[in-house]
Amino acid sequence: MNVLVLKDQLRDLEQFLDQRSAQEDRQHKQETESMNQLLEIKNKLETKCEEWSMIRAITLVKLQLDAKFDRTKKNVEYSLQRKNWWQPFAEQVEKRKPPSRKQKDLIQSSKIDTKKDKL
């Protein structure tokens, strides 16, 4: 009778160990799947972070270039205005002022000089 009880206990113990082993295998499999999912999510997040970092960097560079372009454009416009600031005044003076007597004399003398040169 002792042997039968021991055999039953041994069989029960083997079943318990098999169940325990199967349960641990399932738990390990679930943990592995969870870890794989977490790694996949982590990789996706890192990729998104890299993309956002690149987008942010590109945006900053674009803003800097736009600002530099605007400054350059304003500088060029200012330079052009400074370069020709006198031109409208000169045109107005030329339109209003008839040739003076000296200018008329110079014009006539240059005409006479050219006629003498031709002769």
Check pLDDT > 70 for residue 113: no
Structure token digits, residue 49? 């972070």
DSSP 100: P
Nearest to residue 102, comparing CAs of 110, 93, 90?
A: 110
**Residue 1: CB atoms within 10 Å:** 5
- Structure-token match 């982590």, residue found: 42
> What pLDDT, in 10s, does the model give residues 18-31?
999 999 999 999 99
> What pLDDT, in 10s, does the model give residues 61-112?
999 999 999 999 888 888 877 777 777 777 776 666 666 777 777 777 776 6
